[in-house]
Structure 1
C-alpha cells in the first residue's frame, strides 16, 4: 500500500520515463534479477542515454517502479498498446511514490469527481502547502525541490494524457482499459483507479 511508503522527492530525477519502464519490464519478464538488469542496462546502454551518470541515476527509480508490477501488468505493459502502457506506468508511479499518489487522489480525483476540468496553479500550490504542514520532512525540502516536483507532476499528467496542455491546465478524463480495471480490482488496488478519476 502506498501509504506505507515514506515521502520522497525522487520524482525530481525520475519523471515519466515510459520508454525506460517498458525496456526494464521486458528484461524483468525474461526472468532477470535486478542485479542482472542493472548490468545489462549499463553494458548495453539499453536506454540509449549519452551519459552513463544519467542511466545510473534513473535506474533505481525505474526498477522500483517495475517491481510493483505483477506478471499480468508486466505482460500488459510490454505486449499491449501505448495507451495501456501509459496507464500502467501512471499506476506504477502512484504505487511507488506516496506523495504523487496523494496528489492524484486528493487533487486530480477530487476535481474530476466535481467535473472540474481545470488544474490551476493554486491547486498544486495548496497541495504542497498542506503537505508541508502535515510533514516535517516535506517542510524541510528546499523551494527548488518543491518547484521541480510541481513541474514533474504536471509533466507526468501531460505525458499520460490527463493534462491537455501545461499552459491551459485543462484536464482530460482517461479511459482505463477494462482488463486493467478488472485486474487492479482483483488484487485490491481499486484506489489507484479512483485516483485516476474513474
Structure 2
C-alpha cells in the first residue's frame, strides 16, 4: 500500500519505530480514559500491540495507519480499520477508530485522517459497512463520527469490561451519497 497524504497528514503502515511515540500516548491517562478498561499501557504492551497491528496488514490488506504530521514528521497517533473482537455482537464487522496524543486534540487531525481511511476502506478494500464504537461519554469521538457521516445504531455493553458503548455505522451506499453531495 502506498502512503495516503492529505494537506496536513501522511497516513502510512505502522513500523516498529512507532513504538516509542505510541508508548508515550498510551501512557497518558487522559488519552486512555475511554479505551477498553481505561488503564494506561506499558511500553511492552504497546510494542506487542504494534507488532500485532503490523501483522494484521498481511492478513487483511488493511489495518492501523500511523498518522504523521506532514510538515514536521511528528507521530500524532493512528487511525485504524480493524475487527472489533471486543464486541462480539457486532461481528462480523470492521471498525474505524483513532487515537492521538493529547497535544494533537482539537485540531481536526482525527477527522482528516479518518476521512481518508474511511475512503480507503470503501474504495480500496471494498468493504460494505464500517462501524465505529465509542464509550458513551466520549463526546469528542461522537463528533468525529458525525462529521464522517456515521449514524448512531444502538447502545450496548462491552462484555469484558462491562463498559457501556455506542455503536455507529455507515454503509458503502450511505458513504457514496455523502461523497456525491
More strand by share: 2
In terms of Rg, which structure is larger? 1
Bigger RCO (CA 8 Å, 6+ sep):
1
| TM-score, with length taken from structure 2 | 0.31
TM-score by length of 1: 0.29
